[in-house]
Every structure is written in structure tokens, then in C-alpha cells.
Structure 1
């Protein structure tokens, strides 16, 4: 018994192409606006500008691969661009996902140090440090995934976002480790930094209300971003890989298909971060209304896609 008897792949072809098209359009516009704002506020942002620039670059790099994935799913999951480009395309998603988490975490730590411990770090953190840390973020989390095959043996008909079934057991171990180091730990660090910032600003009487509100607002936005884009993806990716392992062993359960569909929806939510990042990392204006509005619109689109 193989996985095709337990899982229907029709949902992916209906759901992901329109999602990718929408993310591609919104993401390019949002990142174009974000990078333009970055240039205008380069000195104002200080040492975090290096992280902000890298965050924008990871978004743009990933967005440029989406048209190829749209073609892939429109053709019924038939990959025509070769094995190497398949690896590059899937690598760009991981690079964007974990690069976004990593750079947002770095920005959180830098802001924490600047607000809570300004005298200790004054003059000690330079752009050279930011560049070195950025290089580590680019390399550490995403490179191991390149060593897993993304196509089925000699056939390049399919381009897996994880790996083919031969290596799926090993990939689950890698995925769980990546979830811990690339998501859980950075999320706790980010939450701790902005939580402490909010407490410090709220208890200091000399801090103006505008700064307090912006800090609390950013904390809320980041929790929302992690909750919508990152948590569902990691939960359902690991469950889906586990279902593939069980299916490989000859088992077939009713929840396999439900987990598969949930995983595809979470992939759509995961790629949404490339459109939301510019609103989060600059937050030079009242962006929370735009973010909430975009998420509401996205929710309706997801609901419509699931019902079709």
C-alpha cells in the first residue's frame, strides 16, 4: 500500500497556485516599499539595518521562485526545470522561512540590548558584528537541507518540499531538529526580548506613551506573525512526514489525508511571511491595521480555497 491510496493530492493543485500568485504580487510590492523605506531610514535604524536588509533579500529571493512553483502545480505536480533548480527552489523556501525567523530574532535581541542595556552595548556592537551574524543565519539553518534529494530517483517529475520516501525517516529527525533550533528557540528568545522591553518601558515613568505603545504593538504583531505563519507550518510538516513514514510501512489511516491538507494550508500561511515581513521590521507607521486587514483577507481566501 502506498501513500497515494491514503492521500488525495488534488487539493494542492487547487490551493497553492492562487496562494503563490497572490503572495508573489503582494510580496514584491511590500518588499519594494520596505527596501525603499530602509534606504531612507538607514542611519536611523542603526546596527539593525544590516539584519533588515538581509530580511528583505531573503523575501525577494524566495518570491522570485514562486512562478516556477505555480507552473509545477498547474501542470499536476510535474517538474520540468531539472533536479538542480528543484533543490534551489526548495532551498529558497527554507532560507526565507528560517532566515526570516533568524533575522527577526537578531533584530529583537539588538533592540532589547539598546533599550534595556544601552550603556553596556554603546559602541561595542558594530556593523561588522551584524554582517558576521547575518552570514551565520544564512548558512547554518538551511544548508543541511540541500543534502536531501528533492526528486524521485532518476525521475525529476516531482519536486518534493521535503525529500523522497527513501530518505523520509532521516528527514523527520532533521525536521524535528530544525524545528527546535530554527523555530522554537528563536521564538522563545524573541518573546523574551520584547516581553522584557515592554515591562521595562511600562515601568519607567520617563518613557513617553508613544514608545510604550509601539513596543507593545510590535510584541503583539510578532506573536501574531509567529502564530499564523510559523507554528502551524512546523506542527503539520512534522505530522505529515510522520504519516509518510507510517504509509511507507503499509499503514493507512483516515487522518493522513487531513494532516496532508492541513500541511498544504500551513505552507500557504508559511509563505505569507514574505509579504508581512516588511510591515513588521520597519513599523515606521501605523502598520498594525494593514497587517490585521491583510490577515483577514488571507483568511477569507484560505476559507474559499478549502471549500472549493
Structure 2
């Protein structure tokens, strides 16, 4: 028997095993083996059921808080549009990216509640994942634009005074949308659903995972690392300027420091863990496809799902930028909390009054 015939025989065996046990079977370039055999060897069992337990509660929480916060934030922004600077165009687009993603979360909640069974078709699966990517990299892009504008206003106020108009902000926003769409578009050409149309992958199937890893690394560089370096450079120089100059407006200084804290939280909690764990998990899948087993596979998979939950929080945390950009919003928020507190106290006192009658 020739080598070619042996290889074809192995492929036929692999196809039969995949048909019989599609969820528990893994293939390398030389042969196929089931999860049981992997467990008996050196590969730990991957906790795939962790995703269905962890993500639905997170998505429900993000959906409720994000929808309320972004709705209130966009309303406040539009009511005080003239009082804010040109940066409000970026803040408005930031809110649009959040709403676009939040509207897809109910479908993902249904998907994970049904034990990762997708019932909405291949096209809508790709649309759902595309909306997530628009939200993620659109948020990073518009936050970077806000940082650059704030940097110019503090470090080079005389050079930009009167030169940055609303038109400039609109044109830059359109360019951000186009750039993010171009970066995210190749993702839609990768397989997003399983053969029997029951899975909706956030990346792609194991067949194309090696190509997807290369694409993901390039995407991480252009969509995340470069904006991160720009943001760090702007705020590094801005902090030096704020410390050296004493004639800078205290309100402007307070806003800048507040935005710095918000960005540190967003990048540290949401964006950095997501990108690191995403690419590490893709690498573990590439190793598994090649027949290699590592003890850290399961830990990386679980950490990756936690990273997916954390990155979705950006849609609930982004409205904090409204607080940074508006002096009216914090006052309205305090008034809202006071009204809620008074309503709760009235409800609590009503039963007491009824009992004394």
C-alpha cells in the first residue's frame, strides 16, 4: 500500500468518526481521535459547558444596563449638543456602536440558553458577529479620536483653536466607520456556522483556524495595538503638560484626568484581556489540530470566555464618557438617584402608616 493510499484511508476513517461523534472528535493532520482518547492521554477535557453557564447572565446584565445607560446618555448628549465641543460627534458615534451591539445580545442569550444551538441561520450569525466587531473596534477608534482631541486642546490649544470644526469631526467619524468595516469584513468570509447549522462561531471552525489566527493577529495590531499606542502617547504627553503648566483651566484639567481614568478602566478590563486571550485560545486550537496536547488548553479556554464577557461590558461602561464630556450629566444623574431614593422611602413608609390606622 502506497503512502497516498494510507493517507486517503486515514481521511476516510476521520470522516466516519466525525459523522458518528462530531462534538467529541478532534483531527490532526495525520489522524483523528476522540475526546475520550485525549482524556486518557495527556489532554485535559475542555469545559465547553462553561460558556453556556457564564455568558447568558453577563449578556442579560449588559443588555439591561447598557440599553438604559446609552439611551439616557444619548438623550443627554442631544439635549446639550451646543454646550459641548466638537468631541460630541465622536461621543454620539460611540453610543451608536453600543446600541448596534446591544440589539444583538438577546439572540446570543437564546443561543447559549439552548446549549449553543443556533436557530437563526448562517446569514444572521455573520451579521451578529459583524455587529460585535463594529462595536468593539468602533469603540476603540472613537475613544482614540476623543483622546487625540483632548490632547490637542491641552497641549496645542493655540494651534487648533477655531480650526477643528464639526465638519472635521464628522469626516473623521466616517473614516473611522469605513476603516473598522474594512478590518471586520474579512471575518464574514470565514465559516461561522457548523455543517449542521447548529453552531455560531465567534471566530471560525477548526478547519480554517490557522488562517484565522494569522488574520486575527494582523487585526489585533491594526485595530487595537496602534490605537492603544496613540492613546498612551497622547495621555503621556498630556500628563506631563498638566503637571508643568499651572495656568491650565481647572475644569479642563479635571475632565482630562477623569477621561484618563475611564480609558484605563476600559482598556485594562475590557480590551487587553480580550485580545490576549482570543489569540492565545486560537493558538491552542491550532496546536490541538496538529495533534499536540498541553495542560493549559482548558484554562485558556475558560479564561477566553471570561474575556468575552468582560469585553461586552464596554457597551455598559462607554456611557461613562458622557459623564466626562458633560457637566450637566452628573447633576442629572444625582437628581435621578435622589428621586429613586425618595420613591423607595415612600414605598417603605406606606406599610407603616397603614398598620397604624
Tell me the distance in 2 between the aligned counterparts of 1:218 and 1:187: 15
Q: CA deviation at 1:39?
A: 0.8
Other-structure match for 1:234: 275
Tell me how far 1:96 sits from its aligned partner: 0.6
| Runs of 4+ deviating beyond 4 Å | none
CA offset at residue 212 of structure 1? 2.6
Does the CA contact (< 8 Å) of 2:262 and 2:320 recur in 1? no
- The SS at the match of 2:71 is helix
The alpha carbon displacement at 1:158 in A equals: 0.3
Q: Deviations over 1:64-97 (max 9, x none)?
A: 0000000000111110000000001011111111
Alignment of 1:17-166 (within 5 A): 17-141=56-180, 142-152=184-194, 154-166=195-207
Residues 281 and 183 of structure 1: is their aligned pair in 2 closer, same or farther, counting only changes over 3 Å? farther
The answer on whether the counterparts of 2:119 and 2:198 sit within 8 Å (CA) in structure 1 is: yes
- Structure 2 CA distance for aligned equivalents of residues 41 and 89 of structure 1: 32
Q: How much does 1:98 deviate? A: 0.5
Shift of 1:125: 2.4
* Unaligned segments of structure 2, at least 5 residues: 1-24, 28-33, 36-44, 334-357
Cα deviation for residue 226 of structure 1 reads: 0.3
Match of 1:187 in 2: 228
Q: Secondary structure at the match of 2:193?
A: coil
1:148·1:163 contact (CA, 8 Å) conserved in 2? yes
Q: Deviations over 1:7-48 (max 9, x none)?
A: 221100000000000000000011011101211221232221
Please report the TM-score for the alignment, with normalisation by the length of structure 2.
Answer: 0.76
Q: Is the 8 A contact 2:58 2:309 kept in 1?
A: yes
| SS at structure 2 position matched to 1:184 | helix
CA distance in 2, matches of 1:24, 1:93: 13
Bigger radius of gyration, 1 or 2? 2
CA displacement at 1:227 relative to structure 2: 0.5
> Which structure is richer in relative contact order (CA contacts within 8 A, separation 6 or more)?
1
Residues 79-118 of structure 1, C-alpha deviations (whole Å, 9 max, x = no match): 0000000001011111111000000001111121122212
Q: Please provide the CA RMSD for this pair.
A: 1.9
Deviation at 1:210, TM superposition (A): 4.1
2:311 maps to which of 270, 275, 285: 270
Alignment partners' CA distance in 1, 2:152 and 2:254: 19
The farther-off stretch of 277-286 and 192-201 is: 277-286
SS at match of 1:2: strand
Mean Cα deviation higher: 239-248 or 213-222: 213-222
Q: 4-13 or 209-218, which moves further after superposition? A: 209-218
The unaligned stretches of length 5 or more in structure 1 are 291-308
Alpha-carbon separation, structure 2, partners of 1:207 and 1:122: 15
Equivalent residues of 1:38, 1:282 under 8 A apart: no
